[in-house]
Amino acid sequence: MDSIINFLFNDYIIQVATITGINIIMVLGLNLITGVTGQLSLGHAAFMSIGAYSSSIISIKLGAPFIVSLIAGTGFGALFGALLGVPILRLRGDYLAIATLGFGEIVRVVILNTPYLGGALGIYGIPPSTNLAITAFFVVFAIFFMYRLEKSRHGLAIRSIREDEIAAEMMGVNISKYKVLSFTIGSAFAGLGGALYAHFLSYINPIDFGFMKSIEQLCMLVLGGMGSITGAVFGSIVLSTVPEILRFASEYRMVTYGIVLILMMVFRPQGLFGKIKVNV
Amino acid sequence: MLEIILKQLLNGITVGSIYSLIALGYTMVYGIIKLINFAHGDIYMVGAFIGLIVATHFTSNFIVVMAVAMALTAVLGVLVEKIAYKPVRNSSRISALISAIGASIFISNLVVLINGPQREAYPQIFPEINFVIGGITISFLQIFIILVSIALMFGLYYIVHNTKMGVAMRAVSQNMTTARLMGINSDKVISFTFAIGSSLAAAAGVLVGTYYRAVDPLMGLLFGLKAFVAAVLGGIGSIPGAMVGGLVLGLAEVMGVAFISPSFRDAIAFGILIFILIVKPSGLFGKATKEKV
């Protein structure tokens, strides 16, 4: 019995489980933006980095307690989500995707060149306050929050934007308000994920939050199925753990990633758990 | 001061004409099937690597290097289209976009797998010749790159405007269904577009290799994204737009590096991108499209 418990709770498993949980929180945020609202975002990692950096700065330089830095990370994620959401409201489909991509790259370059944020060296010595229990709590919270939101009147309005923007507007849905709201909430979860991530690894670096990270999060969502909470959770679990299991074949990981993405789009574009076809 | 500005102007035009060559591929593909070909940057990288292999192992004759790289990369472009894009042509736009991202990840990491992630030195194809005109040093290579780019763009212009295939390309980009009803084989036209776009990207890859004297498997991502910014800047779907967009981006970047700060080089391109998207989403030469209800 002891050996089973030791096996189940060794550091490595706990680490993978925590990272998986953090990914679930962020992908649920992306699901709200891309899956539920139908706004393709290729810059989700930017909000993760904003959450990670702001919470780390507050922890280290101001010595704030963990919960304050988590709130700050979430808040900054939300703030930047709203700031980006307002000007790019008018953009649709591909153009929106490109603008979010550009925003992600700008955030990365700015962090990379700001000495106060550690530049290319990153930030060391962030108090390692995140643990599995805290992460699990926020995962449950995120799932519950997203579930309640989708079932609410607001969730219905947000979904109507995905289905047909013009028809939704005709029916009196305030499209601008809901698009910004969706961007803000989705980015807040990315910020929370980033804050948890920084306080788990206690070291962050701009390279961790590049374009490929955004793509990785999108892959998790697409694999599970866009617009589905079950899908977002499942996709995050699979793509966070499979690379660990396949560590011996890590060189082939990214190549396989590419093939899986293409095959998924050709044979099951709605993902494993998706019920709807998101048309962006 | 004037000398520095002129020197930077020349640098900007050199880099800009390379951006233009890559941007043309993005813009042509977008014009025809409304897809952001995310793998285009990686196709450009493969073109550079094919050039590298030919130049180090076979011949350093520039025309041969360029021709082989362009031909093989054209084949690769068509293959990518057949495997990753054709099956999703009738699916939603997001599926096509993700399939394109998948193709991009696959190609760049396949090259990493074969070559390793490290940089490779590019062989010196041309001797270093510098001219000094009125106090400004101009390298032969820069003039050469600009001339080759202009020649390739004129070639493209000729194909699009004076050949049967070019007419078919323009017809398909106007309306694929109608073009098909008129007896145009749209599959063939799309393949041809990918072949042309990819070979121009390969030419850009070889030029970048000879200019910067180094290539690496991950260079496609950032350079490709920036060329894509150039295409959006000029108005995606417009061929003259891509040419002008490339030049404007190249100049803006070089001037930004020279007069603002070199470390924000990459942010300049994306800053321009977001500015253009917000102010004039259809770009300098693009036509604004209204959504039909």
Lookup: tokens for B60: 């350093």
- The closest CB to that of A94, out of B93, B110, B261, belongs to B93
Asked if B95's CB is within 8 angstroms of A98's CB, the reply is: no
**Secondary structure, 3-state, chain B:** CHHHHHHHHHHHHHHHHHHHHHHHHHHHHHHHHCCCCCCHHHHHHHHHHHHHHHHHHCCCCHHHHHHHHHHHHHHHHHHHHHHHHHHHCCCCHHHHHHHHHHHHHHHHHHHHHHHCCCCEECCCCCCCCEEEECCEEEEHHHHHHHHHHHHHHHHHHHHHHHCHHHHHHHHHHHCHHHHHHCCCCHHHHHHHHHHHHHHHHHHHHHHHHHHHCEECCCHHHHHHHHHHHHHHHHCCCCHHHHHHHHHHHHHHHHHHHHHCCHHHHHHHHHHHHHHHHHHCCCCCCCCCCCCCC
**What is the rounded distance in angstroms from the CA atom of residue B166 to the CA atom of residue A108?**
41
Chain A residues within 8 A of B26 when measuring between CB atoms: none
Burial class (CB in 10 A: 0-12, 13-18, 19+), B114: exposed
Lookup: tokens for A73: 């990370």
Mind listing the pLDDT tens digit for each residue in A188-198? Answer: 999 999 999 99
- The closest CB to that of B92, out of A87, A101, A278, belongs to A278
Amino acid letter, residue A219: C
List residues bridging with A204 in a β-sheet: A123
- pLDDT given for residue A8 in this prediction: 63
Query: Which residue matches tokens 């002008």?
Result: B244
Q: Which residues contact B149 (CB under 8 A, 6 or more apart)?
A: B17, B18, B20, B21, B207
Does the pLDDT at position B122 exceed 60? Answer: yes
Does the pLDDT at position B292 exceed 60? Answer: no
Quickly state the pLDDT bin for B32 (edges 50, 70, 90): confident
The pTM of the full predicted model, rounded to 2 decimals, is: 0.85
Q: Which residues contact B204 (CB under 8 A, 6 or more apart)?
A: B18, B21, B22, B44, B47, B227
Closest Cα in chain B, distance from residue A88 (Å): 7
Instruction: Report the residue of chain A nearest B38, measured CA to CA.
Output: A98
Query: Which residue matches tokens 């550690």?
Result: A118
Which residues of A lie closer than 8 Å to B, measured between beta carbons?
40, 87-88, 90-95, 97-99, 101-103, 105-106, 109-110, 112-113, 166, 211, 215, 218, 222, 226, 251-252, 254-255, 257-262, 264-266, 269, 277-280
- pLDDT given for residue A200 in this prediction: 93
- In the three-class reduction of DSSP (H, G, I as helix; E, B as strand; rest coil), residue A66 is classed as helix
Chain B residues within 8 A of A280 when measuring between CB atoms: 92-94, 97
Q: Which of A83, A96, A107, A109 to mutate to test the interface with B (most CBs of B within 10 A)?
A: A109
Asked if A110's CB is within 8 angstroms of B94's CB, the reply is: no
The mean pLDDT of B27-53, rounded to a whole number, is 90
Q: For chains A and B, count residue pairs whose Cβ atoms are closer than 8 Å.
A: 134
Nearest one of B243, B96, B219 to B156, comparing CA atoms: B243
Reported ipTM: the value is 0.82
Asked if B277's CB is within 8 angstroms of A91's CB, the reply is: yes
- pLDDT given for residue A272 in this prediction: 78
Instruction: Report the residue of chain A nearest B261, measured CA to CA.
Output: A113
Chain B residues within 8 A of A113 when measuring between CB atoms: 261, 263-264, 267
Return mean pLDDT, chain B.
Answer: 86
Asked if B105's CB is within 8 angstroms of A257's CB, the reply is: yes
Asked if B87's CB is within 8 angstroms of A259's CB, the reply is: no
Helices (H), A202-228: 211-224
Nearest one of B51, B68, B29 to B195, comparing CA atoms: B29
Helical (H) or strand (E) element with A248: none
- The closest CB to that of A102, out of B96, B264, B270, belongs to B270
- pLDDT given for residue B287 in this prediction: 66
- pLDDT given for residue B136 in this prediction: 75
Asked if B102's CB is within 8 angstroms of A261's CB, the reply is: yes
Instruction: Report the residue of chain B nearest A214, measured CA to CA.
Output: B101
- The closest CB to that of B88, out of A110, A266, A278, belongs to A266
List residues bridging with B133 in a β-sheet: B136
**What is the rounded distance in angstroms from the CA atom of residue B244 to the CA atom of residue B135?**
28
Q: Which residues of chain A have pLDDT under 50?
A: 280
Mind listing the pLDDT tens digit for each residue in B45-88? Answer: 999 999 999 988 888 788 888 999 999 999 999 999 999 998 88
**What is the rounded distance in angstroms from the CA atom of residue B233 to the CA atom of residue A98?**
12
**What is the rounded distance in angstroms from the CA atom of residue B95 to the CA atom of residue B279?**
28
- pLDDT given for residue B78 in this prediction: 95
Mind listing the pLDDT tens digit for each residue in B188-220? Answer: 999 999 999 999 999 999 998 988 888 888 888
Lookup: tokens for A260: 């899986």
The mean pLDDT of B260-285, rounded to a whole number, is 79
Instruction: Report the residue of chain B nearest A253, measured CA to CA.
Output: B109
The mean pLDDT of B158-184, rounded to a whole number, is 89
Chain A residues within 8 A of B109 when measuring between CB atoms: 254-255, 257-258
**What is the rounded distance in angstroms from the CA atom of residue B106 to the CA atom of residue A254?**
7
Closest Cα in chain A, distance from residue B202 (Å): 22
List residues bridging with B198 in a β-sheet: none
Lookup: tokens for B279: 């102010």
